[in-house]
Structure formats: C-alpha cells, structure tokens
Structure 1
C-alpha cells in the first residue's frame, strides 16, 4: 500500500532538502525525568495557555517515536496525512491563538528543552516544518508542565543508595516529596513540594529523616567509614618489621638481662647442673615471651 504522506508536495520538498534539525532523533522523556527523581520534585508548574518554541522541542513521552527523527515522523507518521489536510485548509491553526482539541502538551525540567506529552506528536512535527518555512518559531495556546527537580539532592540520594548496596551496609534508604503548598491563577498553577530522605537502621528499626544538608553529611560519614574499612592491611612480615623498631628497647633489655644471667655462672665459678637447668628454663621462658609479645604487638 502506498504511503499517503509521500503524495503531499510539503513532504516531498522537505524530504528532498531536509533541515539539519529534522535529522536529530527524538529523545526520551523518561531520560530527562527518571521515575526515581520524582521524589525530589520541588515545584510543578502548569500553564494552560502558553507558547513554546517548537525548535526547542527535543523529544517525546511516546515510546513509539523515541529515537526516530522528525523527518521519519513526517514521512511515516500515521496521522501526518490527516493533519496535513487540516494544515492546507486552515494554516492559521499553527500561527494564531486558537483552541486546540485535543490539547497539545509539552513537558520540561529546565524551561529550555521540551518534550511532547500525551498528545501532539504529529502536530508538533508539522508545526516545526511549517513554521520553519514561515521563518517563525513559536506555537501558541499549548499546555506546558514544568517539573523543577532538586538535582543535587537527587545525586546525593543516588550515591547513598549505591554505597549502601555495594558495601552491604545495614540501612534502607527511601525518598519522598511532600506537598507543602499551592498557588494558582487564571490559566496557571504551581504546586510546591519538600523532598526528604528516610534512613532505616535495619539492626534497630530506628528511622531518621534527612534534608539536603543532613544527607550530604551522612554521605561523607559513610564514605569515611567504607574508606577506612577498605584500607589494605600491611602483610604480617611488614608489620613485624615495623613493630620491631618500636620494641627494640624492650628486646635489648631482655637480651641484656639474659646475657648477664648467662654470665653469672662464669663470674661466680658456680656452674652446676641446677644453675644450668634453672638458667635454661628462664632463658627459654624470657625468649618465648619476647617473641610472643613481638608477634602480638605487630598484629
């Protein structure tokens, strides 16, 4: 079956000389706004009658169109032909303030890069090409949702989460964002949130709540503990050699005492079996004690 989109001169022209931006793949909204970062939302701003620079629309919520280019969508989009018929009948739809049913939705996390929401992928595609031809940039009367995230707090959460998992620390970490207020007016609304972390001590079932500064301090504490525990321990021989230097005075005193004791029979001329036996016992005992102390202190 022939592709109906290719019958339109509008499509043929742009396929023949495609703009550079039309060949960039559409990014995924889930990459810009991951599910686990929603617990770090601080503001959710909605504008129901806004304007968007269509050339700042870089991606979409719809998985079907992600990683495809705007040119792909113009050529193969299932609703392009229908919307092109509407464009030819009413070009003002893309130029003026008009009611859009269904609404065209755009999401953003920074106010600069926008993603098509639940509806409007095909119309956004046509708007980009049509407004490009008209040397215009903005599409009006659209809905915009701005999700403001505390990204530094989110980054600390990810580091803590990874550290707990890798080091098998006895904690469980969760995040939540509590609604703390709301402001609204004609055509807009902003909901305010306060993100926080909850750290559960698995050994005692104790829980503590952490704000950004406290989470940052806890991360530094955990990193210090894990760094200390992972510092490589010197080998036994190195520890023995190092310890030998610190106990040299002790060893010298012991050896001196042994030498004096061993010399007593010679000095007194009383080299008897009893003295020799007793001296041997003392000598062996002191020597064994010296060696044992040496090893224990080195360990």
Structure 2
C-alpha cells in the first residue's frame, strides 16, 4: 500500500511533524542494573497514557525506526488499519482494551510500549493528531520506582572498598516485599532494600539498610589515623 493510501486512513495529505521521530529502545540493560533497587512496582490495568509521551518500545524490530516507518512497514499494520477504519471508536473508549495494550515507565517518566500495542499506538498517534486528542484510555501500565539514594550508597561503597583495599565486599542487594495493595485492575507492591556486606577478614556477614550503609561509609571516609576497620568489628549493626 502506498504512502497516500496509508495516510488516507487518517484524512492526512502529508505525514505529521512527529512522523520521523525515532522510537527509542527500552533501556533493558540499564533496567537490569536498576532492578535490585526497585522499591515500588505498580501495575495499573485500566490506566491512561498520552500517546505523544510514548518515546519507544521494548520490541527490537521497531526500536530505532520512525513512527512513519512503523505505519508503512509494521508487520501487522495491514491487519490493524482496516480494524481502525471499521471501528475508530475503539481508540476513544475508556474501557479496558482487548487485546490489551501494555506500557512501561521508570519513576513515572518516559513511556515505552511493552508486550503489546506497537501498531495500535502508532495508529492512535496519527488518529489523535487529526482529532486534537492526546490520551488513550484502558491500557495497562507498569511503573517502577527506584531508590536512587540507596543505589548511590552501594555504588560508593563498592568504589571505596576497591580504592582503599579494605576487607569488605558488597555482594548483593536484596529486596523484601513488605506491603501489597490491590484492587480491581490495580496492584502496588512495596519493598525494603538491604545490602549484603561481608567482612572477609572476620568471615562475618551483615544485612545493611540505608542507615547502616551510611554509618559504614562515614567510618570509611575518616582519615587513616581515625579508622577502626582494621582493629575491630565494623561500626554497623547486623
């Protein structure tokens, strides 16, 4: 199908300004690095999203491509466009989308297409552009909240132990589910974080919360003549 024929579905004579915007890849590598520090996971099964805030996708096939390329060459676009033509109200309804449309975000920031919805998000963008709309309802959104302060403490501890060559190793960050709130189409899981720290000289293991990490780092930052690390136990609580 030609470019004019595709654009005709939306009564467009030319591609809109966003058409050549490139879809970013979901930052999977960075997400795996941040994942141990997630303190809240929220799944909203009947959420709303501004389709013009969707910046990318976790599907490698379309990451790095433009929205217009997805419209022209998406694998299932030829199936989805006639469905849109027959029932444009699907994109305007507030009820849950069937099949579901899935999105992901970190700390409520940029939104990425998740497991499902690449072609329909693209269609919604072009359609909403012509209608003066922005918000798609009834989608599923997963949002992850990161404890960046805890991560910074762990990164600093790893850096200091390496530079100072002290017999301390941070070997893992552990998450413990402490609360779950749920209702229809919604769930919020809350976690506490601890760092597993080993004193390799004494063969002792500690589970440190944020306060424990701060106390340990305060001790390690002291001038060498004030340090007690080599002479007695770590100044922390297990």
Query: Which category of TM-score, normalised to the shorter sequence, fits these structures?
Result: 0.7 to 0.9
Q: 8 Å contact 1:5–1:80 — kept in the other structure?
A: no
Q: Which residue of 2 aligns with 1:137?
A: 134
1:8 alignment partner, SS class: helix
Q: 8 Å contact 2:10–2:130 — kept in the other structure?
A: no
Higher Cα radius of gyration: 1
Using CA pairs below 8 Å that are at least 6 residues apart, which structure has the higher relative contact order? 2
Q: Which has the higher strand share?
A: 2
Q: 8 Å contact 1:180–1:194 — kept in the other structure?
A: yes
Q: 8 Å contact 2:15–2:68 — kept in the other structure?
A: no
- Distance between the aligned counterparts of 1:55 and 1:208, measured in 2? 47
Deviation, structure 1 residue 92: 0.7
Q: 8 Å contact 1:65–1:73 — kept in the other structure?
A: yes
| CA 1:121–1:167: 2 relative to 1, 3 Å | farther
Q: Which residue of 2 aligns with 1:170?
A: 167
Whether 1:209 aligns to 2:199 is no
Question: What is the TM-score with the length of structure 2 in the denominator?
Answer: 0.82
- Any stretches of 5+ residues in structure 1 without a counterpart? 229-299
Question: What is the TM-score with the length of structure 1 in the denominator?
Answer: 0.66
Q: Which residue of 2 aligns with 1:91?
A: 88
- Distance between the aligned counterparts of 2:21 and 2:48, measured in 1? 23
Q: Which residue of 2 aligns with 1:102?
A: 99
| CA 1:201–1:55: 2 relative to 1, 3 Å | same
| CA 1:169–1:73: 2 relative to 1, 3 Å | farther
Deviation, structure 1 residue 83: 1.1
Deviation, structure 1 residue 166: 5.1
- Distance between the aligned counterparts of 1:90 and 1:106, measured in 2? 22
Q: Which has the higher helix share?
A: 1
2:103 alignment partner, SS class: strand
Q: CA RMSD in A?
A: 2.8
2:79 alignment partner, SS class: helix
Q: 8 Å contact 1:15–1:71 — kept in the other structure?
A: no
